[in-house]
Amino acid sequence: MILAQLTVNGRPVSGQVEPRTHLADFLREQLRLTGTHLGCEHGVCGACTVLLDGVPVRSCITLAAACQGAEIQTIEGFDDDPVMGELRQAFSREHGLQCGFCTPGMLIAARDIVLRVPGADEARIRTELAGNLCRCTGYRGIVRAVASVATAERSAAPGAPAVTAAPFAEPAAARAEMARFTVAADRPALAPVAAAAAPASSGEEKGWTTFADSFVIAAAPEPVWRMLADFPLVAACLPGAELTGHDGRTVKGSLRVRLGPISAAFAGSAAIERDEAARTCLVKGAGSDGASRSRTRGELTYRVVPEDGDRSTRVLIDVRYNLQGPLAQFSRSGIALELARRLLADFAANLNARVSPGGQAATVPAARLQAGRLLWSALWAWARGWFRSGKT
Ligand code: FES
Ligand code: FES
């Protein structure tokens, strides 16, 4: 293993990597920056494009260990970038995306074009974008979107000539990428990395999806166990959840989620069985979404165990659920599973915010679930399989 140390979206990070670990896996698996997508993993589709020291590279064929000391910018790192802001609006306006799988890499490549060749005409944009493949929209909307921003950039810099189709030169990005494969011999000693959390597992059986996961709360087991029996607090920590009734053994409520154009509000009830001695709880529930005519039922078991000598608590979760109706297609393809995991991660973050000193209100708003982070990561599981299956 090699300890990689680099800067990602302005933040110093480090992590243990295999010599063969590519940058995309490091970003996605260790840093959870899942906006960087993986399609071909052969340097062909451009879905994994990120900036490495300001230059677009394929993170699927860039070794993480070769990025020592480099500055990486992923799609999550452009929130305050005005050109990226214009491109995002233009992509929406011009229908430059459909499933969105190619879009993070497409946007980063497009920003590079706009800044490097302001005023680029359609032919030049098509040449420059040739390394970014989209399997949904066709390219007209994408090219229109990039052209509109490139034209605006040229207008903002009077006197800059329009840029037309140019012979294809060896991309600077490729040269920079190859140079990164050499690690400097005088690299200073690197800081140790924290141990990774226990990996989650998942599986499927006859229409049912099961997964196991866990999270850690920075409080002793007893208060955490009590918090988990506080239904209004649990609902407040679960983004999109609304509690409409509870009596200690049953709860009623709804959970609203939005995945891009897909919106669902599951209303239902659940029975709660808590084993105080074993600090184990079984939740059996069912719900339906009237708008999509989808139904779900399932069981969730959680167990509270001490961690780090009672200073913190690990909550072990086992989930088994069945989704029926139009939304079931997303269950089969992994989107619902990713959604469930994201909900769990946000729930854990909110519980931790509650137990932190002075922490009461720092909860993740439901809107966060409706925004890009969840959508990108959830669609990833679906789109990755779809790309690999070769479907058109
Ligand atoms: S080019 Fe990296 S995933 Fe396709
Ligand atoms: S929008 Fe490009 S692959 Fe779907």
pLDDT tens figures, 176-204: 433 333 333 333 332 322 323 333 444 44
Ligand 1, residues 40, 63, 74: which to mutate, most atoms within 8 A of Cβ? Answer: 40
Ligand 1 center from residue 198 Cα (angstroms): 28
Cross-strand bridge partners of residue 323: 296
| Confidence (pLDDT) at 185 | 32
CA distances for 162 relative to 91, 92, 112, 193, 354, angstroms: 22, 25, 16, 49, 55
Q: How far is the CA of 9 from the centre of ligand 2 (A)?
A: 24
Q: Identify whether the C-beta of residue 351 lies closer than 8 Å to the C-beta of residue 227.
A: yes
Atom number of ligand 2 nearest to Cα 135: 3
Q: Which residues form ligand 2's pocket by a CB distance below 6 Å?
A: 97-103, 134-137
Q: Which atom of ligand 1 is nearest to the CA of 133?
A: 4
Q: Tokens for 137?
A: 């929209």
Give residue 51 CA to ligand 1 midpoint distance, Å.
Answer: 14
For residue 212, what are the CA distances in angstroms to 226, 297, 320, 339?
Answer: 22, 17, 9, 14
Residue whose CA is at the smallest distance from ligand 2 atom 2: 134
For residue 44, report the distance from its CA to the centre of ligand 1, in Å. Answer: 5
Query: Considering Cα of 97, then 100, then 102, then 107, what sign does the dihedral take?
Result: positive
Boundaries of CATH 3.30.530.20 in the chain?
201-389
Residue 127 CA to ligand 1 center (angstroms) comes to 18
Token pair belonging to 77: 């790192």
Q: How far is residue 26's CA from residue 37's CA, in Å, rounded to a whole number?
A: 12
Question: Cβ–Cβ contacts within 10 Å for residue 82, how many?
Answer: 8
User: Kind and range of the H or E element at 245?
Assistant: strand 241-246
Q: Quick one: pLDDT at residue 296?
A: 85
Q: Which of 37, 92, 99 to mutate to test the pocket of ligand 2 (most atoms within 8 A of CB)?
A: 99
Q: Which ligand has the minimum distance to the alpha carbon of residue 139?
A: 2
Distance CA 47, CA 105 (A): 5
Ligand with minimal distance to 101 CA = 2
Q: What is the pLDDT of residue 328?
A: 65
pLDDT at 369: 42
Burial class (CB in 10 A: 0-12, 13-18, 19+), 325: middle
pLDDT tens for 208-262 read 778 888 889 999 999 999 999 998 888 888 888 889 999 878 999 988 876 544 5
- pTM of the complete model: 0.46
Q: Which ligand is nearest to the CA of 46?
A: 1
Domain with CATH 3.10.20.30 in the chain: 1-189
Q: How far is the CA of 105 from the centre of ligand 1 (A)?
A: 9
Point out the ligand nearest to the CA of residue 132: 1
Which CATH homologous superfamily contains domain 1-189?
Beta-grasp domain (3.10.20.30)
The pLDDT, as a whole number, for residue 334 is 60
pLDDT digits (tens, 9 = 90+) for 25-38: 999 999 999 999 99
Helix (H, G, I), strand (E, B) or coil at 302: strand
Ligand 2 centre and the CA of 29: distance in Å?
22
What is the CATH number that goes with domain 201-389? Answer: 3.30.530.20
User: Which residue lies with its CA nearest to atom 1 of ligand 1?
Assistant: 43
Give residue ranges with CB within 6 A of ligand 1: 38-41, 43-48, 58, 60
Cα(291) to centroid(ligand 1), Å:
37
Kindly identify the ligand whose nearest atom is closest to the C-alpha of 387: 2
Residues of the chain with pLDDT under 70: 154-207, 258-263, 292, 326-338, 357-392
